Amino acid sequence: MSMLTIRNIEESLKYELRIKAAKQGVSMEEQARIILREALVPKKRKKGLGSKIHQYFVGIDNVELEIPKRTLPRPAPDFSEL
């Protein structure tokens, strides 16, 4: 594994890292690794809604839907009497 040295960290940042590490029950070094890993390693994306819907219907074959006949649009309203 590689080593990384970070210099000139603000005291307030070091303090927050120490507090967060203590809450997690790990060392400051381990907490810094966790933070870097979460920030830099891509997370697995959850399936989106479209993918979930597709998965639900993927096994259905040969569905024929009746397409209604088209009709002429209704006439435009007559506003001349207003």
- The reported pLDDT for the residue numbered 47 is 85
**pLDDT, tens digit, 9 for 90 and up, residues 46-65:** 889 999 999 888 888 887 88
Looking at the predicted structure, is the pLDDT value of residue 82 above 80?
no
Residue 31: closest CA among 13, 10, 11, 8:
13
- Each residue of 10-44: pLDDT tens digit? 999 999 999 999 999 999 999 999 999 999 988 78
* CA dist list (Å): 6 to 14, 28, 37, 51: 11, 13, 16, 43
- Residue-range domain boundaries for the chain: 11-57
Residue 72 has pLDDT above 90, yes or no: no
What is d(CA 32, CA 17) in angstroms, rounded to the nearest whole number?
7
